[in-house]
A and B are shown apart, each in its own frame.
Chain A
């Protein structure tokens, strides 16, 4: 381990912890939100589904940095409340992630063959039961690899929180660099940490995909 990293390890480790907690919270909140959006749009709930379509379109067309600036600066200014960088970023990331995950979940829901739903109905299953026992498990299998891809993307995007001043991994690395100017070593080490985390996550995703491919 390079000496700069070893000397500043506790500080950088705290940054890594912030990155990880932000990523996990974002993934949880984003997935729950996305499930709501995907179901509402799949079931074509009037008004709500059109509104959510507009929301998804807006998020997919806006850079994550702008979403963070809206959550951290614009919304508090417009509605007169205070927030912290961490809370604003996590909320922004979750709102951003939800839009993308909702699209993947919708694709999963659409991939369930209608004949299976008809068969479930013919067997006397109620609509909620069909959804819970037949549609959702199958849709989840189709959507899972894409969702993991979104989580990997989000894990990388958490670095953007440093722009708002959140001392996550990238932010704390920049601070260490400001203290002892050794940018190549510091940025290189941080890049390696992101690389290991993202690779582990995407390999898990690929392994899951292979397992599902075998069982279906």
Chain B
């Protein structure tokens, strides 16, 4: 194969676009799932009750020390009798795996808010729930926003592994287009630029969020 020719890739632009949309959908679903898991587990990890903390550590260590690829295969092959659709297996694998990372982010965020803040809120007569909602969570969110953006970038890249169970995301479509056109360098170059674009959008978006340090230093 000689010469560089992006013509055949352009001819398959619909397939590339479909892959891109699926990648975005997978990452978004994965992020929602990861947060649904990460919020309670992270809160447990930051709690003062020892049994809760042990459960949180057990989940985080058990899940994040196993490769994501195996998480996806366990849902697709290991639990084959459930006969779940491949895209659901990918979302479950991504959510559970990233949930462990999300839990760590939630935990550090909650622990990073100075104790004086919650004490002050309680002293002012706020209930425990309102303290959490109005004082702890907003400050914790500012502190962990960059880590959350990092988690989403990681999810976008990791969603490429959904291709192993034939979910039609970007990497899978690239393989299909490569098989059609034999333009391997061009197609893989194209999709890496698309991944790079998605990740850059996420990391630039987080720079626009309010800066955390100043607020925390002022309040501490």
A residues touching B (Cβ–Cβ < 8 Å)? Answer: 57-58, 60-67, 69-70, 73-75, 77-78, 80, 152, 156-160, 162-163, 170, 174, 177, 183-184, 187-188, 190-191, 194-195, 198-199, 202
Contacts and interface: CB of A to CB of B under 8 A. Distances in A.
A203 B143 CA distance: 26
13 contacts: A61-B199, A63-B157, A63-B159, A70-B188, A70-B189, A73-B178, A77-B185, A78-B184, A80-B1, A158-B67, A163-B164, A170-B67, A195-B65
A209 to B, nearest CB: 16
B20 to A, nearest CB: 13
SS class, residues of chain B in contact with chain A: helix
Nearest to A177: B77
A159 B78 contact: no
A62 B159 CA distance: 11
A73 B184 contact: yes
A149 to B, nearest CB: 11
Interface stretch (B8-16, B68-76, B84-92): B68-76
Contact of A63 (B77, B79, B80, B171): B171
B196 A62 contact: yes
Given A61-B196, A63-B159, A195-B62, 16 more contacts: A58-B196, A61-B157, A61-B192, A61-B199, A62-B195, A66-B195, A69-B171, A73-B184, A159-B67, A160-B67, A163-B161, A183-B73, A183-B78, A191-B74, A199-B65, A202-B65
A65 B160 contact: yes
A8 to B, nearest CB: 16
Contact of A58 (B4, B68, B69, B192): B192
Nearest to A160: B69
Contacts of A160: 67, 69, 161
A66 B171 contact: yes
B209 interface: no
B70 to A, nearest CB: 5
B185 A156 contact: no
Interface in B162-184: 163-164, 171, 174-175, 178, 182, 184
Interface string B34-76: 0000000000000000000000000001100111111001100
A124 B98 CA distance: 51
A159 to B, nearest CB: 4
A156 B67 contact: yes
A127 to B, nearest CB: 33
B185 A187 contact: no
A66 B73 contact: no
Contacts of A198: 65-66
B77 A65 contact: no
